[in-house]
Amino acid sequence: MLRKRILVVCGTGIATSTVVARKLEEKLKEEGIDIETRQCKVVEVESMLENVDLIVATTPVPDDIKVPVIRTLAFLTGIGEDEAIEEIVRGLRGR
């Protein structure tokens, strides 16, 4: 699988998205998936979609976005983390 690009979205594009991005890099490496993350604020999402394979968001994002969105707090709270990784891996392999 080629390197995948994940856009990590939170309210301000700083604190929570950074934690989620680092966690995703670590977890997906364990799954043997090469990813590149970018972070942004939820209001910037539409301008950040170029070459993005998947969006992982901690807040709701607009419904009309063309890229698949996984909304989860698992990488912040640790609750349901394995399930969220499975969902992300499925999402990335499906593309």
Partner 1 sequence: MVFKEIVKEKLIFVQKNFKENSDVIKFLSEELREKSFVKESFCDAVLEREKKYPTGLYLGKINVAIPHADIKYVNKPGMAVATLQKPISFRKMDDPTLSIPVHIVFLLALVDPNEYVKFLSSLTRSFSDESFISLIYSLDDTERFVESIKKVIK
Question: Which residues, including other chains, have CB under 8 Å from residue 94's CB and lie 6 or more apart?
Answer: none
Which strands sit side by side in the sheet containing 4-10, from one edge to the other?
35-41, 4-10, 54-57, 69-71
Note whether 15 binds partner 1 by CB under 8 A. yes
Catalytic residue among 7, 8, 10, 88: 10
Note whether 23 binds partner 1 by CB under 8 A. yes
Helix, strand, coil distribution of the chain in percent, nearest 5? 40, 20, 35
CB of 66 to partner 1, least distance (A): 22
Note whether 18 binds partner 1 by CB under 8 A. yes
Note whether 60 binds partner 1 by CB under 8 A. yes
Task: Name the residues that contact partner 1, by CB under 8 A.
Answer: 10-12, 14-16, 18-19, 22-23, 42, 58-60, 71-73, 76-79, 81
